[in-house]
Structure 1
C-alpha cells in the first residue's frame, strides 16, 4: 500500500491511534522514571494530554488537515499535564501552525510541520536540556526534512522517521548522565515515539479504531468548599462551552460577555475558543456566541442548587466550580497545589485562596490552573506549584490569562509553606517575590518513600520495596525501616545553619510513630526546634522541612 497524502479524516484516525497506543503503554513510560519512586507519571501526563487533544478533534463537524491539527493543538493546550504534557502540547501547536489552512498534506508538509513543532517546543522551555523529548523531536524533524526531498510515500516516510527517532532515543543516556546511571532512556522521548508509532499503525490499518476510551472526560480541579449562603451567589449558572469559529480577534466578543456575569474566561484562537462564565442568563450568552461560530461541549450548572445539595448531602461527583470567592477585589490572591488533608489545612491556615488538588502522580492540567486563576479576585495572583513538574503548566496558564499572574516556582511543599509564611501583605509584589526567593533558598526538603523497581544509581544498588530517603534529587539513605531511613536522611541534610525541623507525616503513618521519630530527632539535634504536623500525603511516608 502506498499513500501520497493524508486528509483530515486520516489525520483524525492517526491522532486517535496515537492516543490509544500511548494509553496502552503509559505504564511502560512511567517506569522509565530516573528514580525508582512511585511518582513516575510521564506516561500518565502525556496520555491525559493526548486524550484532551482527541476530545477536541471529536467535536469537529468537518475534518480538513488544518482543522484537525488545530483542534488537537487547542485540546492539548488546555489539557496539558506535567512538563511532558506541556511540551507535547507545544509540539502539537507548532505542528498545527505548519499545516495551517491545508486540506491534505504530503511528506514535505509533514516534514516542515515536524520542524516547526520542534522549534516551538524548544522556545517554550526556558533552559532546554538535550537528552530529553526535545532532542528526540528535533532529531525526527531534521531527518524528516532530508528524507522528504526524496521519499513521497507517507508510510515509508513515517516508518523511517520513527526508526531514526528510536535511534536518537537510544542515545539519550549518552547525553544525560542521570539516564545512564539509572539505565533508562528518556521517558518523554519514549512517549513521543509511541505517539508517532500509534499514528503510523492507525494509518496502515483499514479497521476503525475504537473511540470508547476517548469520550469526553471531565477532569477538573475541585475547589475548597466554603459554608456560604446561596444569597451570596450573585450569578447562579456556571456556563461553559467551546466555539468552533474562524474569528481571529475575539476581544469585542469578550467585552460583550462581561456585562452578563463574572468569572469570565475567553481563551483559545485559531479555530477554537473556550468560554467560561458565571451568569444569570446562560441563554443570552449562548446567543452571543452563536453569532461567531458553532457551539460544542455546552455545560450549564446551577450553582445555587449544587450548594444546597452539598450542605445537605455532601459533595456531588464532578462538582466543578462551586466555590465562590469574595466579591471584592483583594490586593493579593494565592493559588497553591497540594495533596493530602493535613497539607491542605496548613495552606488554608496560611491564607491560600484556592487549593488545586495535585502533586506527585496527579499533576493538574493547564485548564485546572486557569480555572483557579479565574476564580480568585486578587489584583496580583501568585501561583505556588510546589512541584517541579507543575511549573510549566502554571506558566502556560499564566500566558492564557488576562490577569496579573505570577508563577513562583516552588518545587516542594516545604518551599510553598515557607513562601506563604514569608509573604507580607503590606509590601509590594516585587519586594515580596524577592523575599520569598531569598527565604526558600534557605529551605531544604527531605522525602521518604519506597522503591518501585530494582535499579543501580551511582554504584548504589536499590531493590524493589526498599525504603529510600531523597533530597535535592539525590538518594541520601536506603534501608528496610521507615523510621531509620528517615533519621539517616535527616542526619545527611541537617547542617549548622539550620534551626528548625518540621516533620509532615503522611497517610498511613500513625501519629504516635511520628512523635517517636521526633523524640529521636530532638535527642540528636538538641539545639533545634522540632515540629510534627499531619500532612496526610500519599506515597511519601514523611516530608521534612529543614530551615
Structure 2
C-alpha cells in the first residue's frame, strides 16, 4: 500500500488500466449508443490508454530510470501519450482528464491531498474539452469521482477508493440523465471505461484487486444486455456523416476561433491538449471543411476521416490493394521458432519478450500479409486484448480476421500443422482451433525472485515447471525438474511430444528427455526443435 503516488505507481496504473480496458473492451463497445451508436468506445479507450502506457514505458527506459522515474515526468508522459493516441470522442475526453490530473500531480507531488486536487482538476479539464457538455456521460462520472474524493479521506488508497466507488454509483444512474441510454437500456460506455481506469488506480496504490468491476457488471447486466444488440451500426438520419479527428500544432490563441468554426460545422466537438499540441474530434457532414479549419488554425496531421455509413465502400477500396488469398500470421520470439512457423507456411511477427507488440504493430503486420483473410496466432495469452483491438480496426478496413488465442508456440505449431487454405475460412479456423486446444503445453523456466505458486513458495534461481501456465513443480536441478515435468504431462496420455529448445537450455538435456520418453513411453513419438526463445528454457507440447 502506497503512502505517496510516484512514477512507478503511474507505470503500474497504466498497465493495470490497459489490462482492465482490454478485459472490458467488448462489453464497453456493446454499451456504445451515445453520441453515435458505432460500437467502438471500448476499443477507442483501450487504444488511448495503450498509447499512454507506451509513453510512460519510454520514460523509464530512455534514461535508464529503472523503477525510479520521477512522478512528474511519468504522469506528464502518460497524459501526452494519451493525447497523441486518443481515438474517438471518449478517448479525447479521457486524454484531457489525464492531462488535468498530470498538471496537479507534476506540480504538487503524489500526496493524498494532491490526488484529491488532481481529480478535481481532471474533471474540470474534461468538461472544458467538450464544446457542449452533456450529463449522463463520462463527464458526469468524472465529476462524481472528484467531488467524493475531495471530501476528507485519510491516505492515498482511501482517496482512490472513494473516487472509484462514487464513479460506480454515478455510472449506474447515467440512464436517468440521458434519454438515449434509458431507451437502449444501457449505462454510458465512456463512463464505464472511466470506472475501469479508476479501479486500476485503486489497484496501483493499494496492491489489492477491487471487486467493483465484477459487482458492477452484475448490477447492470440486465440493463446492458437487454439493449446492446444492434449498436454496431451507422447513425441514422439527422446525424452527421463523418467523424474527423486529427492532431494539431497550433498556438493557444488560435483555439477559440477553431472551436467556433467547428461548432458551426457539426457536433460531438471535443478538443483536448495544450502547450501548442491539440487533439481535435468532431462529427460533421463536410469533412473537408473540418480539416480546412485546422489548417487555418495551425498544422493538422494524423488526420482520420471515417464515413459512418460507408463501411462497405471502405472494404471495396481495400480490395484493390490486397489479394483474395488467406494468410496465417504467427507472433513468436526466437529465430528457430520463426523458421519453424515460416516453413509451415505462416508469416511471422517477431516478438520481443520484454516488449510485447502493441495493437498498432499487430494491425500493421496483418496488413503486410496482403490477404483478404488472415488467421492470427498469438501464442501468448497476454496479447489477447491488443489483438482484439487490432482486429476491430482491421475489420473496419474490410479484412476478415480470426484471432486464435493460442497460449503457447507449441499450440500455434499444432494449429499450423492442420491449416488448409483450400477449405472455407470458417472450417479452417475451426480445424486450427481444435488442434491448438487439443495440445497441452508446458514450459521450463527459472524463478527471478521469491513468489507464492500453486506448488509452494519458490526462491530466486529455482527451476519451475509450468503446465498450462500454472507452476506444478519446483526444483533445484534443471534436468530432474524437466523429467518430472515431462512425466506429469504424459500421465494424462498423448501420442506426440514436441520439445522447443530455448536459447539457454544446457546442451544434452534435450537428448536426455527424448531418450527418457522413448524408454518410458515407447508408443509416443518425440521431436525436438531449436527454438532460440529467451522467454523459456524449454517449451513442451503434448498432442
Match of 1:192 among 198, 201, 206: 201
Q: What corresponds to 1:294 in structure 2?
A: 299
Corresponding position: 1:517 with 2:513: yes
- Structure 1 pair 520–18 and aligned structure 2 pair: CA distance change class (3 A): same
Matches within 5 A, 1:468-547: 468-495=464-491, 497-547=493-543
1:162 is aligned to 2:170: no
CA RMSD of aligned residues (A): 5.1
* Structure 2 CA distance for aligned equivalents of residues 505 and 393 of structure 1: 27
Query: Which residues in structure 2 correspond to 1:432-471 (within 5 Å)?
Result: 432-458=428-454, 460-471=456-467
Alignment-derived partner of residue 346 in structure 1? 340
The 2-side partners of 1:44 and 1:397 are apart by: 12
Q: What SS does the corresponding residue of 1:434 show, helix, strand or coil?
A: helix
Deviation track 1:503-522 (CA, whole Å, cap 9, x = no partner) reads: 11101124533223322222
- Partner of 1:411, secondary structure, is coil
| C-alpha separation in 1, matches of 2:298 and 2:401 | 30
Once residues 513 and 459 of structure 1 are traced to their aligned partners in structure 2, the CA distance between those partners, rounded to angstroms, is: 23
Matches within 5 A, 1:121-140: none
Ranges in structure 2 where 5+ consecutive residues have no aligned partner: 17-48, 58-76, 100-121, 167-196, 207-244, 249-257, 264-278, 284-290, 304-319
SS at the partner of 2:411? Answer: helix
Is 1:366 paired with 2:359? Answer: yes
Residue 410 of structure 1: aligned partner: 406
> Which stretches in structure 1 are left out of the alignment for 5+ residues?
1-16, 30-42, 75-96, 117-140, 169-187, 198-240, 249-267, 273-285, 299-325
Q: Could you say which residue in structure 2 is the equivalent of 1:400? A: 393
Post-superposition Cα deviations, 1:317-344, rounded to whole Å, max 9, x if no partner, equal xxxxxxxxx9761411222211111111
DSSP-derived class of the 1:102 partner: helix
Cα offset, 1:154, TM superposition: 11
Structure with more of its chain in helix, by fraction: 2
TM-score normalised to structure 1 length: 0.51
Shift of 1:98: 8.8
Deviations along 1:287-327, whole A, 9 cap, x unmatched?
999599833589xxxxxxxxxxxxxxxxxxxxxxxxxxx97
Q: Work out the CA distance in 1 between the residues paired with 2:198 and 2:127.
A: 28
Higher relative contact order (CA 8 A, sep 6+): 1
Q: Give 1:408 deviation, angstroms.
A: 1.5
Q: 1:425 to 1:58 in 2, by over 3 A?
A: closer
Q: Is the 8 A contact 1:66 1:103 kept in 2?
A: no
1:127-156 CA deviation, whole Å, 9 max, x = no partner? xxxxxxxxxxxxxx8xx84883x7767999
Contact 2:327 2:347 in 1 (8 A): yes
Distance 1:151 1:18, change over 3 A: closer
User: 2:343 aligned with 1:334, yes or no?
Assistant: no
Aligned residue among 281, 285, 289 for 1:270: 281
Structure 2 CA distance for partners of 1:483 and 1:374, relative to 1, 3 Å: same
Query: TM-score with structure 2 length normalisation?
Result: 0.51
Map 1:16-55; keep pairs closer than 5 Å: 20-22=7-9, 47-48=53-54, 50=56, 53-55=78-80
Could you tell me how far 1:374 is from its partner in structure 2? 2.3
Whole-angstrom CA distance in 2 between matches of 1:19 and 1:494: 48
**In 2, Cα distance between the equivalents of 1:288 and 1:336?**
43
1:22–1:47 Cα contact (<8 Å) kept: no
- C-alpha separation between the residues in 1 aligned to 2:449 and 2:198? 21
Per-residue deviation, residues 36-84 of structure 1 (Å, max 9, x unmatched): xxxxxxx999842656753446769xxxx9956346899xxxxxxxxxx
Q: Choose which of 102, 112, 117 in structure 1 pairs with 2:127.
A: 102
Structure 1 contact 19–50 (Cα < 8 Å) conserved: no
Q: Distance in 1 between matches of 2:293 and 2:52?
A: 35
User: Residues 158 and 417 (structure 1 numbering): CA distance in 2 closer, same or farther, change over 3 Å?
Assistant: same
Q: Distance in 2 between matches of 1:471 and 1:160?
A: 39
For the 8 Å contact 1:414–1:445, the answer to whether it is kept is yes
Cα distance in structure 2, aligned partners of 1:115 and 1:522:
66
